[in-house]
């Protein structure tokens, strides 16, 4: 167990399933206390929180909050402070549902501004709300770790998911600026940029020929699993990354050679 993370209070948004759940469990394995954020999946979040507590002997609580609604986020933060009296790590993983289907995607000339706005709300607005209400807590204690999920498609848009990729690019820029402002307070801000992760709800309609093409161009010759994302998140959350901020780790097996 990494005692650098033991006892830390960690919020992972959108963590009742998929990548978020894998991240939450990786923290629990290290002895951190976990807030499982969800929007609709109350039973799944509650079952998962109970599993984490029984398996790893840590505290885990499910909290419902729509991160695109600031009042909802404020209530979540108030509940976290009431339960734990602090927050050490925020992993902004939640996003609006998006189906990665190259045949069904809208082309540039078919998109409305509403399509862009929907993804900007889910990615950038949601991340902004969570950070806004976590920052004062972290500033008071002179410590904090903010880890934002972006995408390798920001660097290599092999399929032009315009609205999704643009929103993730906005989160990347927001994170760089946030890192510049928060560094003097002992708060780091970094990003994780996964490639295709399978199986997840978002990747369920990815065709076999697409997966095969990605595997052929990936030096490690496979597609990431949710568990492949967790190590870099733990690194950014730990004291091993004390002097790293405003950076991004691309997790795609070498598919993106930036």
Is 164 assigned a catalytic role?
A: yes
Ordered strands of the 89-92 beta sheet: 60-64, 33-38, 9-12, 89-92, 144-149, 187-194, 248-251
Give SS3 for 34.
Answer: strand
ω before 199 within 30° of 0 (cis)? yes
* Residue 217 CB-density burial (10 A; 0-12 exposed, 13-18 middle, 19+ buried): middle
Q: Tell me the two tokens of residue 169.
A: 């690019």
Distance between CA atoms of residues 37 and 123, nearest Å: 15
Distance between CA atoms of residues 87 and 69, nearest Å: 20
Give SS3 for 218.
Answer: coil
Give SS3 for 224.
Answer: strand
Active-site residue, selected from the candidate residues 56, 164, 174, 198: 164
| Catalytic positions | 164
């Amino acid at each position: 167990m990494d005692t650098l993370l033991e006892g830390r209070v960690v919020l992972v948004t959108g963590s009742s399933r998929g990548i978020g759940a894998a991240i939450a469990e990786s923290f629990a394995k290290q002895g951190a206390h976990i807030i499982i954020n969800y929007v609709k999946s109350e039973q799944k979040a509650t079952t998962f929180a109970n599993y984490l507590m029984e398996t790893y002997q840590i505290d885990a609580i499910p909290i419902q909050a729509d991160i695109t609604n600031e009042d909802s986020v404020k209530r979540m933060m108030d509940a976290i402070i009431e339960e734990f009296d602090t927050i050490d790590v925020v992993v902004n993983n939640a996003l609006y549902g998006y189906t990665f289907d190259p045949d069904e995607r809208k082309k540039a000339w078919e998109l409305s501004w509403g399509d862009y706005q929907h993804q900007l709300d889910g990615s950038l607005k949601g991340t902004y709300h969570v950070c806004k209400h976590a920052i004062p807590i972290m500033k008071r204690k002179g410590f904090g770790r903010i880890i934002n999920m972006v995408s390798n498609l920001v660097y290599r848009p092999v399929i032009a998911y315009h609205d999704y990729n643009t929103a993730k690019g906005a989160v990347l820029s927001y994170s760089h600026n946030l890192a510049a402002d928060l560094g003097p307070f002992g708060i780091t801000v970094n990003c994780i940029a996964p490639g295709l992760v399978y199986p997840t709800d978002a990747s369920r309609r990815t065709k076999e020929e697409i997966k095969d093409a990605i595997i052929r161009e990936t030096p490690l010759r496979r597609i990431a699993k949710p568990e492949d994302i967790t190590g870099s998140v733990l690194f950014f959350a730990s004291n091993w990354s004390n002097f790293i901020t405003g950076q991004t780790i691309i997790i795609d097996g070498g598919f993106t050679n930036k």
